[in-house]
Amino acid sequence: MSIVVKKRKRATTFDESGNKTRKKGALVIQRKINRRLTLLESLPYELLTRIFLLSKNDSLATVSPVLWNRLGIKEKIPSYLFIDFTLCMNPKSVILAIQRSLPRRYFTLQLLNYIDELVAAGYVQKSQREGLLNGKVIHAGHKGHIPRRILFQPNARQFIEDLKTRNFSFKTSTLTNGFLIGLKMKDSNRLSHVGHLVFQEVLNKEENDVETVFQPAFEQCIIKDSVDLLDIVYGFWFNLAQMRWTKFRIDGFLAQSLEYAVSRKATNSVHYLIGKGAIPQLATLLKFQ
């Protein structure tokens, strides 16, 4: 593969006094394939897609620009190819195939519904331990895990509820990491979206999970010294803490967070936490001076 560099023609314009001016032409970089196609790249589409399915590797499309054009552009791929790719993950179990495919970006709620319809119509064979409940494929003995990518889907709540009917649930570590990723996006709307989902999931978990999920988020906001982000995280945490913790434990958590903010010299966070009722110890105040 070679790189071809082309220069655009200079555009002639006129300034306020009527004099001619020229803008420098921008460089346009194009890729040109000047090699023979490999045997894999030159295969008929039917064979190529079959190899793609049997490989169970969705990165195959990134091996070369030719394969990317034939396999990797989502708009060109028919929906049945995604379904076949999913079912190839575990030909003996639909639910286990879904579990392996959930972390992949192509897997959507719509695709999941398509698989349900195919199973219900008899086009896809389920295992003996699998059945249909309200038109959804379930596995009696399988407890699946929901990946964090689902938290960031536009229809995340509906997607999560659908998976829960199939005995899928979130790990506490997944919620923690998902919330931290939401913080790194620097988008308050996305963070609020993820925060509401995390709030609902932690609400049904054990008491200690409140601290496990939210303490890393507090620390991340303090490192950034962002009051805006800290205020969003504080709101979700405080609503849960009031329902699950004693006042003594709430005060202890705030004091611990305040001490961490002082150690990081996060001035904005220190003033915010004190304003929320964090009681500083004398040793902590002396460090802040």
> Which pLDDT belongs to residue 285?
58
* Each residue's pLDDT tens digit, 79-131: 778 888 899 888 889 999 999 999 988 899 999 999 999 999 999 999 989 99
* Residue 71's pLDDT band (cuts 50, 70, 90): confident
Least confident of 72-76, 79-83, 197-201, 257-261: 72-76
* Residue 236's pLDDT band (cuts 50, 70, 90): very high
Cβ–Cβ under 8 Å, residues 136 and 165: yes
Domain parsing of the chain, residue ranges? 205-288
**Distance (Å, rounded) from C-alpha 133 to C-alpha 238?**
38
> Which pLDDT belongs to residue 138?
92
The structure's pTM equals 0.73
**One-letter-per-residue 3-state SS of 95-151:** HHHHHHHCCCCCCCHHHHHHHHHHHHHCCCCCCCCEEEECCEEEECCCCEECCHHHH
* Tokens matching residue 182: 């939401």
